[in-house]
A and B are shown apart, each in its own frame.
Chain A
């Protein structure tokens, strides 16, 4: 039986690897997801035959409750709610790792469930694995729940500062390490194990709370990676290769995404985690001179006429489009323009929105084909040959100061070169600053026109004006 279970785990691990591989291409992605789901089903089925599993009622009850919640979440969450959905699911994975590590700790106590404080021995590698599992799983659980709260608007999306932030976090990490070492030496110290769990949970809250809304793509990717690593450490606790492999795959993918996100903002991971940018922005914007000049605006009717005589348009969506839920109005605009023979494409900045690929999901929901969505490096050279760029609810990622103003906090960040186009239309609700807390000199450029209004209303109005021409 043991051999059959292990072989099934091997097949399941292979399915995960192929699943992730296929998830990397739009043509095979659905198949990849299915492969991974089959792999998971096999792993669960094999585990039910493990000789440790003697009663089934709790497994069945837990599975039914969990599945029902999962189904409702997956089917009811609107596409605009995807970032918080992914955030929450990350958290449940991490929470499960913490619970399993705690449970295994109790199970490994030979005196369990009575006289649990009697000394006993635990192999060093097992106790280290348990402590790491508690730490990573705990941080993932509460950290993801805070991220969920921020994205859902329950917890403030602003950068939260609290006194002694960095020393306090450092102290807590140090505590877990020292206490962990103590447990490795004295495995029967149950109270300390529980204390480590609690401190890890607190640490998750404290680490994610300071991270601002626009840095969420990094935070979510990093938590995604943690949820994988938590699975791996659980694998070490159980001595199970399949968990180690699956967790490592997810851990690696999360790290890669985190890296892509950080590079897209020209910031180090430390800088994001420590909440540095927004500070720097607030400090320097006062000292540098704000851009001056005239801001020209345009109304829907004029914009409709302008668009009547162009041959190429690039749309740059940002978080404002997601907030306004303007993706369907944008689709109508694209269809109208294409009917007139205008070439319409989208330019997507890697950190646009609140999670990696956020804009792509929203536009896919509005049935805009994915081959119209171009990544920054693929479209940035085309702006000079473009008649009109329409920026919808994006700000910092199109600020030319990033290219030339050495004093700007966003200096060096790769941006979409929208200012090179003949005309740039910027749809925004107001002249307010973006996440980095700085003015955008683009708005004052001679070829820039502001089109004020909520993204959905403004684009719908524009669509009507074009129809009335």
Chain B
């Protein structure tokens, strides 16, 4: 069962990589910076793992690591989405 789950994850990873390539090949150069900062914010999804560690019942080393990870990931997420929006607001057509 354990091996089966792992294989399913590899499956999902491989398909997601293909989806990523398909989605991104057509981005015009004008949007390269916002695409990068926006996708960057998405990589802050590690916040999920950070929450699972910071929310442990007992306060241990994992809680401390989780707390710092929550701070890091939250900077990544909030900063990333906000700055991307700030940039995109400026992109105007004549």
Contact = CB atoms under 8 A, between A and B. Distances in A.
B36 A86 contact: yes
Binding site secondary structure of chain B: helix
Interface in A102-119: 102-104, 106-107, 112-113
A355 B34 CA distance: 11
Contacts of B47: 40, 43-44, 47, 96
Contacts of A421: none
A70 B21 CA distance: 29
Interface residues of A, number: 115
Contact of A365 (B52, B85, B90): B90
B9 A75 contact: no
B9 to A, nearest CB: 6
Most buried by B among A40, A48, A99, A221: A99
Given A47-B51, A224-B40, A96 B73 contact: yes
B54 to A, nearest CB: 4
Interface string A47-71: 1101011111011011101110111
Interface stretch (A244-252, A290-298, A457-465): A244-252
A106 B19 contact: no
A53 B52 CA distance: 6
Given A97-B46, A224-B39, A243-B46, A58 B34 contact: no
A85 B78 CA distance: 13
Interface in A370-411: 370-373, 375
A350 B28 CA distance: 11
Given A86-B40, A244-B16, A33 B93 contact: no
Interface in A94-140: 95-97, 99-100, 102-104, 106-107, 112-113, 123, 125
A360 B92 CA distance: 11
Contacts of B21: 252, 255-256
Interface stretch (A200-208, A227-235, A269-277, A438-446): A227-235
Nearest to B73: A96
A16 B5 CA distance: 23
A79 B83 CA distance: 10
Interface stretch (A19-27, A168-176, A299-307): A19-27
A23 B45 contact: no
Interface string B25-67: 1111111111111111111111111111111111011110111
Contacts of A371: 93-94
B31 A93 contact: no
Contacts of A245: 12-13, 16
A234 B49 contact: yes
Nearest to A27: B93
Nearest to B20: A252
A99 B38 contact: no
B55 A20 contact: no
A21 B26 CA distance: 9
Contact of B9 (A36, A50, A70, A244): A244
14 contacts: A19-B38, A24-B31, A39-B42, A58-B55, A62-B71, A70-B78, A74-B78, A77-B83, A92-B73, A103-B65, A238-B52, A257-B32, A364-B87, A364-B90
The 5 closest A-B pairs by CB, nearest first: A66-B74, A252-B20, A62-B70, A70-B78, A357-B32
